[in-house]
Amino acid sequence: MTIRLPTELVAAGLAPADALADLARVAERYAVAITPEIAALIDRANPHDPIARQFVPDVAELAVAPGERADPIGDDAHAPVAGIVHRYPDRVLLKLVNVCAVYCRFCFRREMVGPGKQMLSAAQLDAALGYIAANPAIWEMIFTGGDPLVLSARRLAEVMRRVAAIDHVKIVRLHTRLPVVSPDKITPALVRALKASAKTTYVALHANHPRELTGAVRAACARLIDAGIAMVSQSVLLRGVNDDAATLEALMRAFVECRIKPYYLHHADMAPGTAHFRTTIAQGQALMRALRGRVSGLAQPTYVLDIPGGHGKVPVGPGYLDMCGDAGAVVEDVKGKRHNYP
């Protein structure tokens, strides 16, 4: 049974009894949900367990640091109709739901998701799909939320049927945690629901630590991939979870072993109450340099930053090239040695 209440956290051994009052204050502001699969992964003997850190609430979430904001990547600035974010000309986000199977403590949409947050009404979904149909430059639809895969296979199949009727949309991408946090819900019916005629479907899987990719999770991903659905990964660089080269290496190798292409490593966004998760950009760049020397190109994600205020996502990985005008360039190799290039 999914853990949702502070008292359930204490009863499950995920928090001490003397933290109950603080946990209640956090839960009053931000949603809590930990599935049985995630609870089983948590090492209760380790006070710094990286799985617990992602999902068990912490009183530090009530401290808002300078620069943090309720809408850190500026979704609202690019929302022409309810449920749509149209930041780039050729793609849109469609927020189908505002709930998740679990709630990550670092979530950049934490002010917008949780129990009681409304999903799109039938009229709003009509308007959102109508907006997409009326904009022929839109080539890719990205289902997000919340987690779109918490919907039933029937509901997802109906939405995909309607998307199939929009000729200029060629790519459908769904962002999800569900295969990690509740792998048994990746049923044959749900897999079938994600496919649409004349569309290519991608599933972007969010995982941040190699321990999340259990045998059951790998089997759930295989059900998607074997059905012809391509998968990419998204991870967030998190202090105390994956901010060391060995953990990132193991995570990226695990993705590739699962036939999931590492896609993005996100610098943690400026969401309220998340300062205890953020590294510096310089630390992230150093980790990407280390990763470049440890794993092949197949296992290299792009380190990206969403510029606060809605200005878009940009790569912020380390540079290896210094231009020297007419003399050419100086190139740095993965060991830090510099070489002239004419």
Please give the positions annotated as active site.
Answer: 87-88, 91, 100, 104, 107, 109, 269, 306, 313
What tokens appear for 218 in the block? 């790998």
CA dihedral of 237, 242, 245, 247, whole degrees rounded to 10: -140
Please provide residue 280's backbone torsions phi and psi, each rounded to the nearest 5 degrees.
-85, 160
β-sheet bridge partners, residue 313: 306
Q: Are strands 321-323 and 329-332 parallel, antiparallel or unpaired?
A: antiparallel
CB atoms under 10 Å from CB of 65, counted, come to 12
∠313-291-56 over CA atoms, to 5°? Answer: 65
Taking alpha carbons only, the member of 93, 83, 81 closest to residue 138 is: 93
d(CA 179, CA 207): 10
CB atoms under 10 Å from CB of 340, counted, come to 10
**DSSP letter (8 states) at residue 175:** E
Q: Residue with structure tokens 């969010």? A: 206
The CA radius of gyration of the chain, in Å to the nearest whole number, is 21
Please, where are the H alpha helices in the chain?
Answer: 6-11, 20-29, 36-41, 50-55, 122-133, 153-164, 178-181, 188-193, 215-226, 245-257, 281-292
Let me know: does 284 contact 245? Beta carbons within 8 Å.
no
